[in-house]
Amino acid sequence: MKKVLTYGTFDLLHHGHINLLKRAKALGDYLTVAVSTDEFNLGKGKVCTYPYEERAQILEAIRYVDKVIPESNWEQKIRDVQENDIDVFVIGDDWKGKFDFLKEYCQVVYLPRTEGISTTQIKETLSGQ
Ligand code: C2G
């Protein structure tokens, strides 16, 4: 079984996230998603609309997602790859090159982002109404 791993905040879920998850799952047979905790997001300068538990619950309901784990720091990726026996790490190409250190442990794939949609854009649209 080919196991895939990706990371993200996934706040205010939109089709850009779904496109990423769909393509990530297509790279293997089993997709694990590490969802950023609220505390970790603060470190990323993000304040989520939905708290971790709700974002994790939404991710678990997506047909492409097999397992959800928390992402609570920048240092956990190597351990996550080893402990989950991951074959492919995948993430959007806004992170291109940032996780090449994982190539020692698994395949690393950066997928093109979906243009024209972002959580920030959704928030701006809603605040403008
Ligand atoms: N994404 C995408 N297209 C968009 C928006 C997001 O393909 N229009 C992808 C991102 O590239 C990422 C995933 O969807 O792979 C989740 O996006 P975010 O929730 O913004 O995640 P991010 O804050 O980038 O967290 O350790 C890595 C970080 O936790 C990644």
SS3 state of residue 35: strand
Note the pLDDT tens digit of each residue in 6-53: 999 999 999 999 999 999 999 999 999 999 999 999 998 999 999 999
Q: Please give the distance, rounded to the nearest whole angstrom, from the Cα atom of residue 104 to the centre of ligand 1.
A: 23
- Of the pLDDT bands very low, low, confident and very high (cuts 50, 70, 90), residue 118 is very high
d(CA 120, CA 5): 24
Q: Residue 68: which domain range?
A: 3-127
Q: What is the CATH number of the domain that holds 48?
A: 3.40.50.620
- 98 belongs to the catalytic site: no
Task: Give the span between the Cα atoms of 20 and 112, in whole angstroms.
Answer: 8
Which entry of 44, 96, 98, 103 is annotated as an active-site residue?
Answer: 44
| Of residues 56, 77, 68, 66, the one with CA closest to residue 29 | 66
Active site residue 22: no
pLDDT for 128:
87
Confidence bin at 114 (pLDDT 50/70/90): very high
**Number of separate domains in the chain:** 1
User: Which listed residue (2, 3, 46, 98) is catalytic?
Assistant: 46
